[in-house]
Amino acid sequence: MEVVARLESRPDLFASVDTTRLTARIPIVMFVSRASGIECDLCVENRLAQRNTSLLRAYASADPRVRMLAYVLKRFVKQRRMNCAAEGTLSSYGYLLLLIHFLQRQNPPVLPVLQALPPNWPNEPREKLPSVLCRGPSDELDPNSADGHSVGELLLGFFRYYGLQFDATRDVVSVRRPDAGTITKDEKRHTSQWRFTTRLSIEDPFEVGYDVAHVLKGSRDKYIRQQFVRAYVLLMDGAIRHQTKTEGVSVEEDTQPGQDAEADDNSLERIMSIVNEQVLEVPFLQAPPHPLSPVPMPMPQPHDSF
């Protein structure tokens, strides 16, 4: 409460001090920095949060595309009102774990599995915490990815994967398995006493018995998947419409000096380059969010410009 008192005593520096989550499993005080307008979550003496933050930082540093994807994803879920655990949707942390899991499963992987230790790693961990095994970063793990997909391609793949492909009734999202292997819900029920559920489940990378997505309500789980499908359809619709408009342009007119004409003429590359360049300007990121509802949404209408 001393921290809260200090924040409230400086209204010139901090605004919108929110103490509603002080009684949560991990007590958090939320506020807004007046200088920057940044929304902040403050938690004291949470050593696991420090480990989680270090892990996310390591993944963000492994490939420059990760930061851009994380930024776009966080902006998207905020616009669509699907990033508030108190309202039955996922936290930003949950979405970042979804992103890391997806990037690990690409072929070749965009991200390594940083918790898959090499065979010659020392037997004893540097630090032990309840239900946690924490070890420092390994020099044996090469973070450089051979995957050459653009940010736009990966974003499309993310929406397609979680909107249309991932079987949330059977599998658990995990970022710690070697070779990005999946964990089934049956396995988690036997090893971690997880309750069986058909909604999305996300394993915490350190507290492996904790489901980060346990806050998801059934209607919100369905809403999130609907929004991922909607995003995928809108992105592809805009990209294909752009391709249709530019089909009459010759390769010679459209190619800059030094570019590979064959690659530039490839329709798939043309689509993905537009998605990559315009990803922050697509309509679903700017339009008012669809009301939260378990009722299936109508298919989005075609739009005139990307």
pLDDT tens per residue across span 57-88: 999 998 999 999 999 999 899 888 898 877 88
Average pLDDT score over residue span 264-286: 47
**Domain 46-117+127-247+261-291 is found in CATH 1.10.1410.10:** yes
Residues 6+ apart with CB under 8 A from 218: 199, 294
Q: Which residue has the tokens 């973070």?
A: 143
Token output for 71: 């930024």
Which residues of the chain does CATH 1.10.1410.10 include?
46-117+127-247+261-291
Residues in the chain: 306
DSSP letter for each residue of 95-154? HHHHHHHHHHTSSS-SS--TTS--TTS-SS-SEEETTEEE----TT----------HHHH
Per-residue model confidence as pLDDT tens digits over 7-38 = 888 888 888 888 887 777 778 888 898 888 88
The residues facing 134 across adjacent strands are 127
The sign of the dihedral angle between the CA atoms of 269, 274, 280, 284 is: negative
- Could you give the dihedral angle defined by the CA atoms of residues 141, 144, 145 and 148, in that order, rounded to the nearest 10 degrees? 180
Q: What is the mean pLDDT of the chain?
A: 74
Per-residue model confidence as pLDDT tens digits over 231-272 = 998 888 877 776 677 665 443 444 444 444 444 345 445 545
The residues facing 33 across adjacent strands are 14
Whether this prediction's pTM lies above 0.85 is answered by: no
pLDDT-derived band at 160, boundaries 50, 70, 90: very high
Nearest C-alpha neighbor of 273 from the set 154, 152, 155: 152
